[in-house]
Amino acid sequence: MTKCLVFACFPVVSALGVLYLEDGNADAFGMRFTTGKKTSLIIGNSRAAQGLIPEEIVKQLPKGDELGLYNYAFAVGYSSYGPVYYQSIKDKVEARTKNGLFIVTVDPWSLVVESEAHEDTIILPEQPTPLADVNNQSYKPNLSYMLNWFEPSYYEIIHRVLRPANERLHRDSGWLELVLPMDSSTVNYRISEKVRQFEEGLHGVRFSNSRLEYLDKTIKYLKNHGQVFLVYLPAHPQIMKYDQMIMPNFNKSMKKLAENNRILYKDYSNQAGEFVYTDGIHLYQSSGRLLSADLGSWINDNIIHK
């Protein structure tokens, strides 16, 4: 019996050791649940996850390092505005924070539901995700995430230690870095693939009032903890036209939302052609750095220093 118990200890300890090795290389989101509560957040979908680099933003702000800005944006299927993301943000924000910085990014795709979905059922797409299931913790490994939501096999952790992935989540800042070949033919192919997907997916979705209400609710909640800035992140011009098709009056609607909440709105859509994208949707990291720095400087001009 003693032998069996001793034997059982070895695999358990080794397994925990393997899980500990994961540092954002093998899974795009897991590390976000190991960093505990935060005082300043970037929220939104994958445009923000890949495009906004916290360290570039805070460089532009006096005492920016003290803000502890953290990228808590995921992807459309995970973090569209709705009850699940709202609860998860509440769980992530340090309750005592009063002077945090919150960059709320938006685009029409974060406000849509499936065409056939009833307004009451908008929680469904995000329900089976870690955002709905996993609590934020300040230690790693987060066993709840690693056991239930870690997608690949655990071997991938070791594989990625030896051969780093082209997608890496920076645990400290939450930025999802992608290193991809950027030769024009590859990029054009990826953009054409995305255009095809958007063309096919366009008729399957529609704007949702409930999501807009949750965006409003999220802003109001975050305002209790600091200053909120609303930002419309750009995409490749070929993709931007689908943004227009989904919600032709998107900008107007966001401006109104910002006015109602007395926050500032920054629209990057008219500068869409100035940036480089990996696949038409996501900013390439050099452009991400430029845009982040620009955003940081705009925030610095408008932030109310307390």
Which residue ranges make up the site for other proteins (CB under 8 A)?
3, 7, 10-11, 14-15, 18, 147, 151-155, 158-159
CB of 188 to other proteins, least distance (A): 21
CB of 154 to other proteins, least distance (A): 5
> Judged by CB, which is closer to other proteins: 181, or 248?
181
CB of 148 to other proteins, least distance (A): 9
CB of 249 to other proteins, least distance (A): 41
> Judged by CB, which is closer to other proteins: 18, or 132?
18
> Judged by CB, which is closer to other proteins: 154, or 298?
154
C-beta separation of 138 from 92 below 8 A = no
Task: Give the 3-state DSSP-derived string for the chain, with helices as H, strands as E and coil as C.
Answer: CHHHHHHHHHHHHHHHHHHHHCCCCCCCCHHHHHCCCECEEEECCHHHHHHCCHHHHHCCCCCHHHHCEEECCCCHHHHCCCHHHHHHHHHHECCCCCCEEEEEEECHHHHEEECCCCHHHCCHHHCCCHHHHCCCCCCCCCHHHHHHCCCCCCHHHHHHHHCCCCEEECCCCCCEEECCCCCHHHHHHHHHHHHHHHHHHHHHEEECHHHHHHHHHHHHHHHCCEEEEEEECCCCHHHHHHHHHHCCCHHHHHHHHHHHHCCEEEECHHHHHHCCECCCCCECHHHHHHHHHHHHHHHHHHCCCC
CB of 245 to other proteins, least distance (A): 31
CB of 158 to other proteins, least distance (A): 7
CB of 147 to other proteins, least distance (A): 8
> Judged by CB, which is closer to other proteins: 17, or 204?
17
Q: At what angle do helices 250-261 and 209-223 cross, to 10 degrees?
A: 30
Q: In DSSP terms, which residues pair with 264 in a beta bridge? A: 229
> Judged by CB, which is closer to other proteins: 158, or 293?
158
> Judged by CB, which is closer to other proteins: 36, or 128?
128
> Judged by CB, which is closer to other proteins: 7, or 166?
7
